[in-house]
């Protein structure tokens, strides 16, 4: 079956540090890949996505590249801010999944200290 593995954290960084959150996946075929962000007390918001190999998704300074050869979709940001503190979820949707929902990783809690 499909699965997503991501570092669970918490990950604690200082403001302006470089961020990497690792995400690897197992799926049949070529899934679509997503990063969602959840701020305290809120629902999930789509942060970025990639639908085919070598695609790079980007938004709000965050980037992730769909690497088929390593089945990875690592999230990166060059300079984090306190406002980036949140829980980040990597997710996939299998190609041809029809109505099927997303498969999520367990989430990474990111804490940015001033």
C-alpha 7/C-alpha 95 separation (Å) is 24
Least distance from C-beta 100 to other proteins, angstroms?
A: 7
Subset of residues 37 to 76 that bind other proteins, contact rule: CB under 8 A: 42-46, 49, 51
E strand spans, 1-114: 3-6, 11-14, 19-21, 23-26, 32-38, 44-50, 56-59, 62-65, 75-77, 86-93, 103-104, 108-113
| Position 93 contacts other proteins (CB under 8 A) | yes
| Position 21 contacts other proteins (CB under 8 A) | no
- Site for other proteins (CB under 8 A): how many residues? 24
Element (H, E) at 55: none
C-alpha 89/C-alpha 19 separation (Å) is 15
| Position 100 contacts other proteins (CB under 8 A) | yes
Query: Which range binds other proteins by CB under 8 A, 9-17, 20-28, 58-66, 92-100?
Result: 92-100
| Position 29 contacts other proteins (CB under 8 A) | no
* Residue choice 25, 34, 62, 73 for contact with other proteins (CB under 8 A): 34
């Amino acid at each position: 079956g499909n699965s997503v593995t991501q570092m669970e954290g918490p990950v604690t960084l200082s403001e302006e540090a470089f961020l990497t959150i690792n995400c690897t996946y197992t799926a049949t075929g070529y899934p679509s890949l997503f990063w969602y962000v959840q701020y305290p007390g809120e629902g999930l918001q789509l942060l970025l996505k990639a639908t085919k190999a070598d695609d790079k998704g980007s938004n709000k300074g965050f980037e992730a590249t769909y690497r088929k050869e390593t089945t990875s979709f690592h999230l990166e940001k060059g300079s984090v801010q306190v406002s980036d503190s949140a829980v980040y979820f990597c997710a996939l949707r299998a190609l041809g999944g029809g109505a099927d929902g997303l498969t999520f990783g367990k989430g990474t809690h990111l804490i940015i200290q001033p």
